[in-house]
Amino acid sequence: MTTPAAAERYLAEQFLRVRGASSKIGAIVATRVLAAQSAGGVRGHVAEIGVYEGRFFIALALCAQPGEKLIATDVFTWPDEGVADRFLANCRSHGVNRDDILVQKAATQSLTPDGYRKAAGGPVRFLHVDGAHKYDSVLHDLQLAKAALHPQGVICLDDVLHPLYPALTIAAGDWLKANPEFALFGVVDRESFASACKFMLCRRDHAQFYREALVASSPDLLFKHRAQYFGDEALIFSAPPA
C-alpha cells in the first residue's frame, strides 16, 4: 500500500516549485488514498476539475496505473491563455505521459453530469474538485463528480472552511445532506491561512475501507481526535509542527 516512488519524489522535491494553490499535506493524503485503492484493486481514471498549472494533478498522475486516464478539466484562461501550455510543460517535465492526459478545456457549468461521465470514458476512482468556488458551481461540480465516480471512488473537495470562500463550505454541507449515500471520511487540515481544508468523501459503504487504510498508512499525519459530522466519523490529517 505504498505511494509510488515517483510520486514520493515529486512531493518531497518538486511539489512546491510548481505554481499552484494546493497544500502539500493534501497531496500526500491524496496519494495515499490512491495507493490504498491500487492495493485494494480499485481501478479507474484519475481526474481534477481546476488543474491550473498542474501542482496537485501531477501528484495524482504519478500514482495512476497503466491504462488509467488522467482527466484535466479547466477553463484554461486564468490568469492568461498560456496556462494550458504551462500545465502540459509541467506535466512533461515531471514525468507524466502526455498520451495519458485527456485535456478538457471547458467551464464546468457547460458540462452535464452525463456529458462529463461519457467524456471520462470510464469510472473515475479519484477526483479533486478545485474549480470555481461559488455555491452553485461547487454543487454542480460535485454532481459531475458523482456521475463519473467509481462505486469505490473518492471525491476530494478543496478549500472547505477557507475564510475567502464561506459559501463553498455551505455547498459541501448541503450537497452531503442531499446525497446521504456519501460519507465524509477524512478532513485534511490547513497548513496556513491560504491552504484550507480538503474534505475526503466516498460512498458510505466504503468509508471504513479508507479509514482503515489511512490509519495504517498515515500515522505520521493523524491527529489524535476525529471529526464528528452528522454521524460520520472523519479522520483528521494534520502536518506535524515543523
Ligand X SMILES: C[S@@+](CC[C@H](N)C(=O)[O-])C[C@H]1O[C@@H](n2cnc3c(N)ncnc32)[C@H](O)[C@@H]1O
Least gap, CB of 165 to ligand X (angstroms): 10
* Nearest position to ligand X, beta carbon: 20
Least gap, CB of 83 to ligand X (angstroms): 7
Q: Which is nearer to ligand X, 55 or 94 (CB)?
A: 55
Rounded CA separation 170/161 (Å): 9
Name which of 10, 13, 99, 113 is nearest 54 in CA terms.
Answer: 10
Q: Which three cell numbers, joined as nine digits, stand for 41?
A: 484493486
Rounded CA separation 80/111 (Å): 22
18 three-state secondary structure:
coil
Least gap, CB of 155 to ligand X (angstroms): 14
Indicate the residue type of 17. R
| Inter-CA distances, 87 with 21, 93, 123, 185, 224, Å | 14, 10, 24, 30, 37
Least gap, CB of 226 to ligand X (angstroms): 26
Rounded CA separation 85/220 (Å): 36
188 three-state secondary structure:
strand
Element (H, E) at 29: helix 24-39
Q: Which is nearer to ligand X, 157 or 221 (CB)?
A: 157
Least gap, CB of 210 to ligand X (angstroms): 21
Q: Which is nearer to ligand X, 85 or 205 (CB)?
A: 85
Least gap, CB of 130 to ligand X (angstroms): 4
Q: Which is nearer to ligand X, 168 or 207 (CB)?
A: 168
Q: Which is nearer to ligand X, 18 or 221 (CB)?
A: 18
Q: Which residues bind ligand X (CB under 6 A)?
A: 20-22, 49-52, 55-56, 73-75, 78, 107-109, 130-132, 137
Rounded CA separation 208/215 (Å): 10
Pairing status of strand 101-105 against strand 124-129: unpaired
Q: Which is nearer to ligand X, 115 or 151 (CB)?
A: 115
Name which of 52, 36, 34, 45 is nearest 158 in CA terms.
Answer: 52
How many Å from the N-terminal Cα to the C-terminal Cα in the chain?
A: 26
Q: Which is nearer to ligand X, 27 or 183 (CB)?
A: 27
Least gap, CB of 11 to ligand X (angstroms): 13
Sequence-ordered alpha helix ranges (H) in 121-165: 135-148
